[in-house]
């Protein structure tokens, strides 16, 4: 699709709820308008991966306006300062460098006077599924996950949940029962969730969808001990390729909890057994006062 | 140490080569002057972890000027746009939010008209070594590394090397011979380096030192196949605690090489068996045309 004249922006490639919710409109002052969508929330607040995807869309548009075709976030980091509410928000993008193989941009999502998310991107063009060569070298291997029909669809209104997790109506997340015992009894202490993920409305997963999925799982700390909300401080994503069609395998693992913080890593594998995306995040955590922390089994 | 009047900055806590090389001086316009040190280089260009440490120092000073005591980078990300040369550079810091438990700032390192490094930080105060509680939970365990006296000190002028790696005169890096066979013969294909690291001049390792060490190792891709320079696109670090005295155990591992990019993870463990710092980075890589890529042993 050709880049569009100033003052407008490219229409969504596909008219789905995710494309509408991440749509950004370039304003005359060069900033972008985003309508934070109430359907992409956890409780009352928007999901961090959803906000990241919207900001990458704005960064791609800003690069297109400078003649660059780089629309994919090879590496992206978001620092979350303040959770915005559903409703109008502004994305300010600054193009830092336009390069041949990669370009860099930074962005800020604000609502009113409040800065909500600060982001930095290394942008480029991901190899396309069928044409993409396999990894040159990898120490990682696809993990075991139960067949999708044996997995547990995570509902937006989990039994006993204190709030609605609307993103579970947008994504179709099926967790391996082997990693779900914490939902029905004591946690296993492994700190790991595995399953399958796709868009609930059948939208194909593109690189923007990968960004959303990389932050869409429940905290894997639920498999260690009960806690309240686990707000992300910093999320970093790397994307490797546009995924092959079909549901993706996803795994989220806790690495360490210390001093009120937790780090988790996430992997997304496609139907061709390729690692297509990864994330690492640092979040704040406070286990419930009466929660017993189940140690990692060694 | 009390924060200092505008126009000056705190003197280094310890007068060592690392403290002098990372010293920043606040100018009247609110930016910071940095003298990029020729001793913290790989070939002609400064090391990325060294630049990160200098920028965190500036961010801590900028936060102090706003009444915050947050000087430690709990989470930091640097995107490298252009490698500066040794000599004068400018660091521009923008404080995004001053909070109770954590604050956020972004920074840019420029040289002349060129933007060189774009950084974002979540800042706070790390627990101090002896008083720090152990990790609440961890899936990670300290790795095996040969006794320090059996390890191989990495020289600044490696035999057959094409350029001087000056940071190896600043850090005392001892690599486990088990991870060094690539230096003397064929690579092992494991893509992993393990060893011990400390400052060569005996300076104690503080949180700024951790940032430098997290990017100080040779590319672990040397254990896969020969390549030229492996320039970092994006580096993300998490710090957990001020380390106990003594050399730190360090491990750098390659996770995947695909589409001309590589991601590597790094861990730093202290003498009390605590994970004190981690990093993940995405870099550009091109193996030598005649290099055979040794697959990961499974």
DSSP string over B254-286:
EEEEETTEEEEEEEEE-TTS-EEEEEEEEEE--
Judged on CB neighbours under 10 Å (0-12, 13-18, 19+), B152 is middle
pLDDT of residue A228: 82
Which residue would you say has higher pLDDT here, B7 or B114? B114
pLDDT(B160) > 90: no
pLDDT(A113) > 50: yes
Give mean pLDDT, residues B115-129.
Answer: 92
How close A189 comes to chain B (CA, Å)? Answer: 9
Entry pTM: 0.94
Which of B262, B126, B107 shows the shortest CA–CA distance to A79? Answer: B107
Which two tokens mark B89?
């550079």
The model's pLDDT over B181-206, given as tens digits with 9 standing for 90+, comes to 998 889 999 999 999 999 999 999 99
Q: Phi-psi region for residue A138, left (φ > 0), alpha (ψ -120 to 50) or beta?
A: beta
- Cβ neighbours of residue A277 under 8 Å, at least 6 residues apart? A210, A211, A213, A214, A237, A238, A239, A240, A267, A268
Q: Which one of A136, A265, A293 would you mutate to disrupt binding with B, by most B Cβ within 10 Å of its Cβ?
A: A136
Task: Find chain B residues with C-beta within 8 A of A141's C-beta.
Answer: 298
pLDDT(A10) > 90: no
Judged on CB neighbours under 10 Å (0-12, 13-18, 19+), B10 is middle
Task: Find chain A residues with C-beta within 8 A of B115's C-beta.
Answer: 96-97
Q: Which one of A81, A137, A243 would you mutate to disrupt binding with B, by most B Cβ within 10 Å of its Cβ?
A: A137
Task: Find chain A residues with C-beta within 8 A of B293's C-beta.
Answer: 136-137
Rg (CA), chain A: 19
Task: Give the ipTM of the model, two decimals please.
Answer: 0.93
A15 φ/ψ angles, rounded to the nearest 5 degrees: -90, 80
How close B296 comes to chain A (CA, Å)? Answer: 6
Residue in A with minimal Cα distance to B260 = A136
Strands B171-175, B152-153: parallel, antiparallel or unpaired by DSSP? Answer: antiparallel
The model's pLDDT over A23-38, given as tens digits with 9 standing for 90+, comes to 999 999 999 999 999 9
CB pair distance less than 8 Å for B97 and A77: no
CB pair distance less than 8 Å for A257 and B106: no
Count how many pairs of residues, chain A against chain B, have C-beta atoms within 8 Å.
177
Q: For chain A, what is the mean pLDDT?
A: 93
3-state secondary structure of A137: strand
What percent of the residues of chain B are helix, what percent strand, and what percent coil, each to the nearest 5?
15, 35, 50
pLDDT(B179) > 90: yes
User: Where residue A7 falls among pLDDT bands split at 50, 70, 90?
Assistant: very low
Strands A32-36, A24-26: parallel, antiparallel or unpaired by DSSP? Answer: antiparallel
Task: Find chain B residues with C-beta within 8 A of A96's C-beta.
Answer: 79, 81, 115, 118
How close B120 comes to chain A (CA, Å)? Answer: 8
pLDDT of residue A4: 37
Residue in A with minimal Cα distance to B256 = A138
pLDDT of residue A3: 38
* Angstrom distance (rounded) from CA B186 to CA B207: 36
Task: Give the one of B104, B138, B241 whose C-beta lies nearest to A259's C-beta.
Answer: B241
Which two tokens mark A278?
């990864």
Task: Give the one of A139, A141, A295 whose C-beta lies nearest to B137's C-beta.
Answer: A295
pLDDT of residue A133: 76
What are the angstrom distances between the C-alpha of A24 and each of A60, A237, B110, B200?
11, 21, 30, 51
Residue in B with minimal Cα distance to A275 = B256
pLDDT of residue B127: 85
Q: Which one of B99, B121, B258, B270 would you mutate to disrupt binding with A, by most A Cβ within 10 Å of its Cβ?
A: B258
Start-to-end C-alpha separation, chain A: 53
CB pair distance less than 8 Å for A258 and B133: yes
Give mean pLDDT, residues A184-203.
Answer: 96
pLDDT(A156) > 90: yes
Query: In this predicted structure, which of A1-10, B30-39, B199-208 has the lowest mean pLDDT?
Result: A1-10
CB pair distance less than 8 Å for B234 and A236: yes
- Contact criterion met (CB below 8 Å) for B166 and B45: no
* Angstrom distance (rounded) from CA B134 to CA A257: 10
* Angstrom distance (rounded) from CA B228 to CA B218: 12
Bridge partner residues of B42 (DSSP): B45
Task: Give the one of A106, A263, A284 whose C-beta lies nearest to B118's C-beta.
Answer: A106
pLDDT of residue B14: 66
In chain A, the percentage of residues whose pLDDT exceeds 90 is: 86
- Contact criterion met (CB below 8 Å) for A295 and A256: no
CB pair distance less than 8 Å for A104 and B96: no
């Amino acid at each position: 699709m050709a880049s569009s004249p100033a003052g407008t922006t490219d229409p969504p490639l596909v008219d789905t709820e995710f494309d509408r919710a991440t749509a950004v409109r370039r304003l005359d002052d060069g900033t972008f308008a985003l309508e934070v969508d109430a359907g992409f929330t956890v409780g009352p607040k928007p999901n961090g991966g959803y906000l990241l995807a919207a900001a990458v869309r704005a960064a791609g548009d800003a690069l297109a306006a400078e003649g660059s075709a780089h629309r994919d976030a090879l590496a992206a980091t978001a620092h979350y300062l303040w959770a915005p509410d559903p409703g109008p928000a502004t994305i300010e993008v600054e193009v830092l460098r336009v390069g041949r193989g990669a370009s860099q941009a930074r962005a800020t999502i604000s609502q009113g006077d409040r800065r909500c998310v600060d982001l930095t991107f290394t942008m480029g063009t991901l190899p396309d599924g069928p044409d993409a060569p396999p990894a040159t070298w990898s120490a990682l291997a696809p993990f075991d996950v139960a067949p999708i029909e044996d997995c547990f669809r995570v509902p937006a209104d989990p039994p006993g949940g204190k709030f609605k997790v609307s993103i579970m109506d947008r994504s179709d997340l099926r967790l391996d029962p082997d990693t779900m015992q914490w939902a029905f009894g004591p946690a296993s202490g492994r700190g790991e969730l595995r399953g399958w993920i796709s868009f609930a409305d059948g939208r194909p997963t593109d690189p923007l969808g990968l960004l959303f999925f990389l932050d869409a799982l429940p905290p894997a700390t639920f498999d260690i001990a009960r806690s309240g909300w686990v707000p992300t401080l910093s999320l970093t994503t790397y994307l490797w390729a546009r995924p092959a069609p079909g549901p993706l395998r996803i795994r989220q693992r806790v690495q360490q909890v210390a001093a009120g913080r937790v780090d988790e890593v996430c992997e997304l594998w496609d139907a061709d057994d390729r690692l297509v995306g990864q994330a690492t995040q640092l979040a704040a955590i406070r286990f419930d006062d009466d929660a017993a922390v189940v140690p990692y089994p060694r």
